[in-house]
Amino acid sequence: MSKELFPLGQVVATPGAAALMTDDVAADFLYRHITGDWGELDQEDKASNDRAVQDGLRILSEYSYNGNKFWVITEWDRSVTTILLPDEY
């Protein structure tokens, strides 16, 4: 089991994201996010997330499920993590 890199805070999902995923999918996204698997981001954005973990900045991951892209965003202060669709940003 991989080590958790940061706290998620309160976990929420937007209505659009919640309608397109199961609880198991959401749990998988959160596990991957909190352990540093940033998903489908390019190398530059992955490196930015690695720095954000250390520097206390916002962290964004991108995953796909059933042909839909999802973002997982943890705020800089680690108070909340949101699962959303990119067009809901």
What CATH number has the domain bearing residue 39? 3.30.2310
Q: How many domains does the chain have?
A: 1
Query: Is 52 contained in some domain?
Result: yes
Q: What's the pTM value of the predicted model, to 2 decimals?
A: 0.96
Query: Is 81 contained in some domain?
Result: yes
Q: How many angstroms separate the Cα of 26 from the Cα of each of 52, 65, 66, 74? A: 22, 10, 13, 14
Query: Is 76 contained in some domain?
Result: yes
Domain span at residue 55 reads 10-88
| pLDDT, tens digit, 9 for 90 and up, residues 9-67 | 999 999 999 999 999 999 999 999 999 999 999 999 999 999 999 999 999 999 999 99
Query: Is 4 contained in some domain?
Result: no
| pLDDT interval class at 2 (50, 70, 90) | confident
Give the H/E segment covering residue 82. Answer: strand 80-84
Query: Is 63 contained in some domain?
Result: yes
Token pair 């930015």 is found at: 48
User: From CA 7, how far away is CA 22, in angstroms rounded?
Assistant: 22
| pLDDT interval class at 1 (50, 70, 90) | low
Token pair 């998903």 is found at: 39
Query: Is 3 contained in some domain?
Result: no
